Amino acid sequence: MSAQRLLVTGGAGFIGDAIVRTALDRGWTVRVADSLRSDVHGGPPSLDPRAEFVRADVTNPSDVPALLEDVDVVCHQAAKVGLGVDFSDAPDYVASNDLGTAVLLAGMATAGTSRLVLASSMVVYGEGSYRGPAGPVRPAPRRAADLDAGRFDPIDEATGEPLEPVLIPEDAPLDPRNVYAITKLTQEHLATSWARSTGGRAIALRYHNVYGPGMPQNTPYAGVASLFRSALERGEAPRVFEDGRQRRDFVHVRDIASANLAAIEHTFGAEPGWFRAYNVGSGVVHTIGEMAEALSTHAGGPSPVVTGEYRLGDVRHITASSERLRTELGWEPAMSFDEGMREFATAPLRAAVRDR
């Protein structure tokens, strides 16, 4: 693979940087494209000097042709992430994620670049998978009245009892429940259409809760792991929403990077017009409260505070089945929850971002 050139969009970001370093270590020639948005990057990024860096915005059609010169595979990580502050964020999400992906794919079609790995997300599913007395159940979006009353778990309408959460496979129904989720699913649809119309090969990796060194801090768009870690950095207790029993799959950023490399290499053997989605998770379930406790313990900081607050766009439980990725691509996560949280509790974060 040493003769192949990889383009990583968003390659100066948290996940993109980990992918860049992993690819370089495996002998790839890597070009990094990043717009260095101020609401993502609080200061100059720490770029690997072995990579070529180009400051560029994939939403700008004039930036894309030069990025794709002599590129064999594109790993598309550039996106606005997180639930957002309120609906006024919607135009920026759609422009950053969907317009940016459309512009990039149009440029790839023109350049003849035929291999794509796309950063997708667990949020495309909405709620996770559940089982009731009669079998699989797909709960409706949670109601504000129930959440105000502290009724956080989806309920079986026939029995009134909480549904049993189970691991979600890739063929589960897709039901995005906030603007960010809608844009991630749209990115997948765009990649599918591109692959079919151009004969390209595309993989979408549906990341579950990613954490690790180099996460951004003090930004409303960061994941919950970053928010807890940022609070501890300030000497404050992590604030845990709902009752802290939300089930998640926390996966280390270096495992995400290795999954991307497995996907990149897999595109070379795929048939033209091929698209496939894969969950990327550790396969081990933990609650958000357990993560907060682990970080507080390893950081020697104050114990978490369970607030009962909620965000209406959040889902209650979602945990991954990554069996497809393990079986078809031979990928295995290397970092355990305890080992990862111990490292993350004291690992450096990125500089705090400022308002854009």
Q: Which residues are annotated as catalytic?
A: 180
Cα atoms in the Cβ-side hemisphere of radius 13 Å centred on 196: 7
Region of residue 120 (left: phi > 0; alpha: psi -120 to 50; beta: else): beta
- Asked if residue 280 lies in contact with residue 322, where contact means CB atoms within 8 angstroms, the answer is yes
Residue by residue, DSSP assigns 290-314 as HHHHHHHHHHT-PPPEE-----TT-
C-alpha–C-alpha distance, residues 110 and 170, integer Å: 31
Region for 18 from its dihedrals, namely left if φ exceeds 0, alpha if ψ lies in -120 to 50, beta otherwise:
alpha
Task: Supply angle C-alpha 124, 317, 175, rounded to 5.
Answer: 25
CA dist list (Å): 335 to 24, 157, 211, 252, 344: 20, 39, 11, 6, 11
CB-based contact 229:345 (threshold 8 Å): yes
